[in-house]
A and B are shown apart, each in its own frame.
Chain A
Amino acid sequence: MKLLKLVPDHTNIDFMRWRNLALLLSLIATVASVAFTIYRGLNLGIDFVGGEVVRAEFVQPVHIDDLRTRVDRLGVGEASIQALGNDRTYQIRLPKPPGPETASNAMVSKLRTMIPQQYAGARVDAGDSVSGKVSEELAKDSAMAIGFAMIGIAIYIWFRFEWQFGVGALLTLAHDIAMTLGFFAFTRLPVDLNVVAAFLTIIGYSLNDTVVIYDRIRENLRKYRKMAILPLLNLSLNETLARTVVTSLTVLIALGVLMLIGPEVIFGLAIAIFLGVVIGTYSSIYISSPVLVWLGVQPDSFLRTEDKEGAEAQTA
């Protein structure tokens, strides 16, 4: 059987030739993403701003205007109504009511009662209600979790490699998160707790590629003491290119299936990780590696720790 080779043997792509252009473009894209996110804001779900979401299934097709009129009549604030795939499944989102925390419960109750009363056979399939207090905590916890994960991983890379690699990892992560945030700000896809889980996953998986490439760079730095840093980075990237492509593809295949035919509740999670893998693959080549040149990684960077590393390799 002839085996599939997506990447031919002995590639010799001069990745580093475009490193400054790529860095500049990445920098612009990152700044633009952040600016856009700040300017336009994220479509934060009720998990982070409080409020209610009710999902209703109707037996007969329902017109969105008809539903809106009836919801408005309840006097529960400005509802945003969205069809989920067809005209028999709707998601109704209500803002957090002013006043005490207990007020929100009364609003959901109204909606829950109204729908089966006014539409025969209709059913409220899911209802979430989050108070202002809880949403503030969730937002704080999420931000802290993302921050801790980024720093924790950067510190681990620093310990396992050298400080330059830790900085490289941190910058790569910041780039990936900024770009994904920009995507969510641009598409107005709702950001809920699942998306935060996706961000944490991206932090783990984006670094996966980076770690593999860093490992090869370290190996080559020891092997080819005389080689200049740029050709050495190119060599390492080319040597790991086949693996980068194959792994990214398998992950994308699995996630693509989940995104296209999986439950829609986790669409946000699937698309965020999918995107994160694409961005992470790019940044492992064009951010993690050029950063090392900047920070002055030299073939002798690992000499001091040679003995320690040698012992490690043996135990591995």
Chain B
Amino acid sequence: MLEFPRWKVWLIAIVIAIGVILSIPSLIAGTAVGGGWPKWMPQYKISLGLDLAGGSHLLLEADAQDAQKQRLQAMEDEVNTELRRDPQIAIGDISTAGGRLSFMVRDPRQVDAAVDRMRNLTKPLALTGIRDWDVQVVDSTRIVMTPTASGSAQALKDAMGVARDVVRRRIDPSGTKEITVVTEGGNRILVEVPGVEDPEALKRLIGQTARLEFKLVDLSANQQDVQQGRAPAGSQVLPMADGSGFMAVKRRVMVSGDQLTDAKQSFDQDGRPDIDITFNTAGAKRFARATQENVNKPFAIILDDKILSAPNIQEPILGGRANITGSFTVQSAHDLAVSLASGKLPVKLNVIEERTVSAELGQDSIHKGVIASVISVALVIVFMLVTYGRFGVYANIALVVNAFLILGIMAMFNATLTLPGIAGFILTIGAAVDANVLINERIREEIRRGRRLLDAVETGYHEAFRAIFDANVTHVISAAIMAYFGSGPVRGFAVVLLIGVVTSVFTAVYFTRMLVALWIRRTRPRELHI
């Protein structure tokens, strides 16, 4: 018991010193002395969860139907482009009904060639031997392309990666905010934005797929048919964004929003909000050619399958700049500009979970949590003191050191403190003394049994350790399961419990043992007041 080598004392002292130093930046953050912490010292800080800092948490899920629809549309464009190249193959009756892309090859002699070129459009999936699309010939002239399951899965995975980046750019165009955007479980994106008061603005930004397309208006269509949803071959019927009816447009996309480099909210000559867009070189060329070929014809500006407006092409637009008109407010034009500039979402995202806390409520929680923590610690300290005297003082020093160590370790790993985390902290304080209670009660018992002082202390620490160890393992099991299954705030609770279990064994067992050993060695007491 008394053999407590100097290196062990130093080791324990160093661990504690590191813990205290690491915890200080978190403790003084936001207070008057916050700036006084020297720059050469560690700057690790505990981050505050959204329930304390205030902010919005959104869980987005990919709309599987929309993902499939977009994929079919993209393939339709590819097929059109491919078969129009030399040697051209004429096709007709193209359809995306039933989740498959099918079309007829007009010249039966070209079917084999068409199939070959279609097969080339599909991609093999790494190592599996399966391709992302299945190409078949039905009724000798009809080619049917069906997306394979693994192809769809791969496409979704790719789309989620792109969607994550798009969401990030939309919420934080300048890239300066501390936001979290991560994909989760294959088809979800978790978004955490601190300090947001109005989650509706966020949802407006994310809610738009922002797929911008320019298509020619089909003037040959019969207006009555169009209002009933029937379009001539090669055309489709789309609703007007302002709800004023329907319009038939050519299926073929003249230019799409993929080729934009920038979009800004602006005003037209009459002072109405509109959006200025700038194409990249390829887009500018395509736009120039399309407008040259179709002067004096109306073309439809389509956003997410709704027609914003269908102005006449007055003259060829050669500079790669255009503006989009429609019935916008300044806010909606601005939101759309941000969405267009950040690129379209490869898949529509639905908000399936939303949690928002205002900064005021978060501040209030911190305030109440800190007061409750301080009072709890004070009461426990008094209780330990009147129960165990000198050994209570040791337990209390261990308790305070433990608090610093928990904060220090959390800061080091940049862990997030949540409101339940504060509860975990208080709980750990209450429970950490358990180890000392076990030890001290055992020492009392051994003294009652007539053991000599040194022997009693030695036995107390030795015999109590088994129970301390087993009891803490049960905590670790439940906290680890909580950390694994829990989300956000609950995980914060589990993390504090886990760290607290480890640090409390260190402080309550090894650290107090050192204090007791040093005391006995120094004063050689004859009897123990415990």
Q: Does the CB pair B357–A204 fall under 8 Å?
A: no
Partner of B474, one of A141, A153, A216, A219: A153
Docked-complex contact A242 and B474, CB < 8 angstroms: no
A208 touches B475 (CB 8 A): yes
B77 at the interface (CB under 8 A from A): no
Given A156-B473, A246-B441, A263-B419; A123-B358 close (CB under 8 Å): yes
B174 to chain A, nearest CB (A): 26
Q: How far is it, in angstroms, between the C-alpha of A203 and the C-alpha of B356 when the chains are bound?
A: 30
Closest to A55 in B: B361
Q: Which of B198, B369, B466, B475 has the most CB of A within 10 A?
A: B466
| Chain A proximity of B450: nearest CB distance (Å) | 13
**What residues on B are CB-neighbors of A138 within 8 Å?**
487
Chain A residues with CB under 8 A of B380: 250, 253-254
- Does A311 sit within 8 A of B, measured CB to CB? no
Residue in B351, B353, B433 whose CB lies within 8 Å of A247: B433
B residues in contact with A187, CB < 8 Å: none
Determine whether the beta carbon of A208 is less than 8 Å from that of B471. Answer: yes
- Chain B residues with CB under 8 A of A109: 200, 203
Nearest Cβ distance between residue B121 and chain A, in whole angstroms?
33
> CB-CB contacts of A119-139 with B at 8 A, as 1s and 0s?
000011111111101100010
Residue among A55, A134, A212 making CB contact with B438, cutoff 8 Å: A212
**0/1 per residue, A156-190, Cβ < 8 Å to B?**
11001000000000000000000000000000000
**Contact status B376-A253, CB under 8 Å:** yes
Residues of B within 8 A of A252 (CB): 430
CA distance A257 to B425 in the complex (A): 13
* Residue-wise interface mask of A (241-256) relative to B, using a CB-CB cutoff of 8 A (1 in contact, 0 not): 0110011011111110
CB distance from A3 to the nearest CB of B (A): 5
Alpha-carbon distance A152/B474, docked complex (angstroms): 9
- B88 on interface, CB distance cutoff 8 Å: no
Q: How far is the CB of A231 from chain B (nearest CB, A)?
A: 18
B466 lies within 8 A of A108 (CB): no
**Counting CB contacts under 8 A, is B426 at the interface?**
yes
Task: Return the CB mask of B1-37 against A: 1 if under 8 Å, else 0.
Answer: 0000000000000000000000000000000000000
Known contacts: A208-B431, A253-B379. The answer to whether A125 contacts B361 by CB under 8 A is yes
- Is there an interface contact between B437 and A134, defined as CB atoms closer than 8 Å? no
- Choose the segment among A59-67, A74-82, A191-199 that binds chain B (4+ C-beta atoms closer than 8 Å): A191-199
Q: Is the CB of A125 within 8 A of B358?
A: yes
Q: Which of A102, A141, A153 interacts with B477 by CB under 8 Å?
A: A153
The answer on a CB contact under 8 Å between B358 and A193 is no
A1-28 contact mask (Cβ, 8 Å, vs B): 1 or 0: 1011110011000000000000000000
Say yes or no: is B161 at the interface (Cβ < 8 Å to chain A): no
A117 contacts the other chain (Cβ, under 8 Å)? no
Query: Considering only CB atoms, which chain A residue lies closest to B447 in the complex?
Result: A9
> Shortest Cβ distance from A252 into chain B, in angstroms?
8
Contacts of A257 in B (CB 8 A): 372, 375-376, 379, 426
**B39 in the interface (beta carbon within 8 A):** no
Residues of A within 8 A of B369 (CB): 262-263
CB pair A127–B356 under 8 Å, yes or no, is yes
* Overall SS of chain B's interface: helix
A6 touches B387 (CB 8 A): yes
Instruction: Report the minimum CB–CB distance from A215 to chain B (whole Å).
Output: 4
CB distance from A154 to the nearest CB of B (A): 10
A266 at the interface (CB under 8 A from B): yes
Which residues of chain B are within 8 angstroms of A145 by Cβ–Cβ distance?
481-482, 484-486
- Say if the beta carbon of A292 comes within 8 Å of chain B: no
Q: Is the CB of A251 within 8 A of B358?
A: no
Asked whether B282 is an interface residue with its Cβ less than 8 Å from the other chain, the reply is no
* B426: contacting residue among A197, A240, A255, CB under 8 A: A255
The verdict on A239 contacting chain B, using a C-beta distance below 8 Å, is: yes
Given A215-B466, A261-B368, A316-B469, verify A105-B351 contact (CB < 8 Å).
Answer: yes
Given the known interface contacts A254-B379, A255-B430, A273-B427, the answer about A108 and B475 at a Cβ–Cβ threshold of 8 Å is no
With the chains together, A261 CA to B373 CA distance in Å? 10
Q: How far is the CB of A157 from chain B (nearest CB, A)?
A: 8
**Quick one: given A211-B467, A243-B438, A254-B426, are A123 and B360 in contact (CB under 8 Å)?**
yes
For window 248-279 of A, CB contacts with B under 8 Å fall at: 249-255, 257-258, 261-263, 265-266, 269-270, 273
Q: Is A224 an interface residue (CB 8 A)?
A: no
Shortest Cβ distance from residue A233 to the other chain B in the assembled complex, whole angstroms:
16
Tell whether, in the assembled complex, residue B433 and residue A215 are in contact, meaning their CB atoms are under 8 Å apart: no
Cβ-based interface call for B494 (8 A): yes
Q: Does A227 contact B (CB under 8 A)?
A: no
* Complex contacts, B526 vs chain A, CB 8 Å: none
A3 touches B388 (CB 8 A): yes
Report which residue of A131, A193, A200, A270 has the largest number of chain B beta carbons within 10 angstroms of its beta carbon.
Answer: A200
Q: Which residues of B contact A58 (CB under 8 A)?
A: none
Contact between A262 and B423 (Cβ–Cβ < 8 Å)? Answer: yes
A13 to B465 Cα, complex, angstroms: 26
Tell me the nearest residue of chain A to B356, going by C-beta.
A127
Chain A residues with Cβ below 8 Å from B351 are 102, 105, 129, 131
Interface status of A112 (Cβ within 8 A of chain B): yes
Known A-B contacts A138-B487, A156-B477, A212-B438; A254 and B429 likewise in contact (beta carbons under 8 Å): yes
What's the least CB distance linking A78 to chain B, in Å? 21
Residues of A within 8 A of B315 (CB): none
A-B contact pairs, 10 of them (CB 8 A): A57-B360, A125-B358, A141-B485, A204-B475, A249-B383, A253-B379, A255-B426, A263-B419, A265-B419, A316-B469
**A interface vs B, CB < 8 Å?**
1, 3-6, 9-10, 55, 57, 101-102, 105, 108-109, 112-113, 123-131, 133-134, 138, 141-142, 144-145, 148-149, 152-153, 156-157, 160, 193-194, 196-197, 200-201, 203-205, 207-208, 211-212, 215-216, 219, 239-240, 242-243, 246-247, 249-255, 257-258, 261-263, 265-266, 269-270, 273, 313, 316
Question: Considering the complex of A and B, which 3 residue pairs feature the smallest CB-CB distances, nearest first?
Answer: A254-B430, A204-B478, A145-B485
**Chain B residues near A (Cβ < 8 Å):** 51, 59, 61, 198-200, 203, 350-358, 360-361, 364-365, 368-369, 371-372, 375-376, 379-380, 383-384, 386-389, 419-420, 422-423, 426-427, 429-431, 433-434, 437-438, 441, 444-445, 448, 462-463, 465-467, 469-471, 473-475, 477-479, 481-482, 484-487, 489-490, 493-494, 497, 529-530
Given contacts A57-B360, A133-B61, A247-B437, 17 further A-B contacts (CB under 8 A): A3-B530, A55-B361, A127-B356, A144-B485, A152-B481, A156-B473, A160-B470, A197-B482, A201-B478, A204-B477, A204-B478, A208-B471, A215-B466, A243-B438, A251-B430, A261-B371, A263-B372
